């Protein structure tokens, strides 16, 4: 999880254009300025590209925080 979280933090920094942004597993949309529905889609697409994985819309809809996304990414990387 630490490596995934570190790489995902870089994705967040790029998407939100904020090199000082630091995410934790507990980080959610309410914690990040500008994280609205459009940015959420952009974030998911960029995460899929960065990690070479694909998510279903139901998986994305079930995400509650960054930790959920990290676990989803890790499960995909280990499954495929």
Angle, to 10 degrees, between the axis of helix 2-15 and the axis of helix 37-51? 130
Q: Which CATH class is domain 2-79?
A: mainly alpha
pTM of the model: 0.92
pLDDT by position in tens, the chain (length 80):
569 999 999 999 999 999 999 999 999 999 999 999 999 999 999 999 999 999 999 999 999 999 999 999 999 887 75
**pLDDT of amino acid 77:** 81
27, 14 Cβ separation under 8 angstroms: no
66, 25 Cβ separation under 8 angstroms: yes
């Amino acid at each position: 999880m630490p490596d995934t979280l570190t790489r995902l933090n870089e994705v967040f920094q790029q998407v939100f254009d904020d090199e000082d942004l630091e995410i934790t597993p507990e980080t959610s949309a309410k914690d990040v300025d500008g994280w609205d529905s459009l940015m959420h889609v952009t974030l998911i697409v960029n995460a899929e590209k960065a990690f070479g994985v694909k998510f279903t819309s139901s998986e994305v809809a079930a995400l509650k925080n960054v930790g959920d996304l990290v676990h989803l990414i890790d499960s995909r990387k280990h499954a495929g």
